[in-house]
Amino acid sequence: MGLLADYHTHTKYSRNNHGKGTIEENVRVAYEKGLRQIAITDHGFNQKLYGVRRKDIPQVKKDIEDAKERYPIDVLLGVEANLISSHGDIDIVDDDYKDLDILLCGFHRLVKSTSVKEQFGFVLKNIFCEIFHHTSKKQREKNTNAYINAMRKYDIDIITHLNHACKVDVEKVARVAKETNTLIELNGKRLGMSDKEILTCYNLGCKFVVDSDAHSPNRVGDCHLGLEAALRLRLPDSVILNYNDLPTFKKEKHKKRS
């Protein structure tokens, strides 16, 4: 069957022309490419230039419902939350989560942190590390703990572009991803992990999704970079949960248990 879903797509609600298309355009392309499910996951609220605004969420929900009426494809409302502190805080609160079907999380530049200390010591420090292509052991440990704490504090479904712009000990993150049933994304635009690190995740029992990280409708479903890595490393189809099948996300699992 092949790729059945794309869980990482952005729209115009990722502001200032960061996302180029409408929700309907993303959904239409996903349907035309034969996908059975798509998530609309614009940037989190603390991304000051590009983030979706809380006041826009009701309109996002309406746009999704309108698109679902036009196209026979399942459309999930999500957000790509920002990791905003070394303590594992993200820019989602309980009132936000109740509106979501799926929660993604990754590190991004230009986010508002929880304090001035965290803004400089976590967010800006990682930007400087990326610019100078060097992350100290201390900073890598801080980043690793941030991801670990986030996965234990929140119902994160997917970690996006792990090890991109925020270097971590992938093995330690993978162990907690396995423990918390958090999926690791093989991103269609960028792979922050080496082949060895991807295989480490696999050997520790992690599950994956391949996503496009589309910022324009024409790129929805374009997951070739992640798919090529999976093929090159001979990852079984069974560990790529949106290939030949569809995963059940944490919120839906909670509903089924209640």
Q: Give the pLDDT of residue 1.
A: 67
Ranges of H-type helices in 71-169 = 94-97, 116-118, 125-131, 137-153
> CB count, 10 Å around CB of 116?
8
Cβ-proximal residues to 123 (8 Å cutoff; 6+ apart), any chain = 84, 109, 111, 113
DSSP code of residue 182: P
pLDDT band at 258 (very low <50, low <70, confident <90, very high): low
Query: Can you give the C-alpha Rg of the chain in angstroms?
Result: 17
More confident residue, 258 or 115: 115
Phi-psi region of 227 (alpha: psi -120 to 50; beta: other; left: phi over 0): alpha
pLDDT digits 0-9 by tens, 185-205: 999 999 999 999 999 999 999
Architecture of domain 5-257: Alpha-Beta Barrel (3.20)
Give the three-class secondary structure for 6.
Answer: strand
Mean pLDDT of 54-77: 98
pLDDT band at 130 (very low <50, low <70, confident <90, very high): very high
Burial 135-156 (b: 16+ CB within 10 A, else e): beeebbebbbbbbbbbbeebbb
For residue 126 the two structure tokens come to 């990682």
> CB count, 10 Å around CB of 52?
24
**Nearest C-alpha neighbor of 215 from the set 4, 14, 7:** 14
Q: How far apart are CA 88 and CA 50, in angstroms?
A: 21
Please tell me the pTM assigned to this model.
Answer: 0.97
For residue 138 the two structure tokens come to 């201390």
pLDDT digits 0-9 by tens, 212-228: 999 999 999 999 999 99
DSSP code of residue 214: B
How deeply is 234 buried, as exposed, middle or buried, from its count of CB atoms within 10 A (0-12, 13-18, 19+)? exposed
Sheet with 102-106, side-by-side order of all strands: 5-9, 37-43, 74-82, 102-106, 158-159, 183-187, 208-211
For residue 125 the two structure tokens come to 């420090």
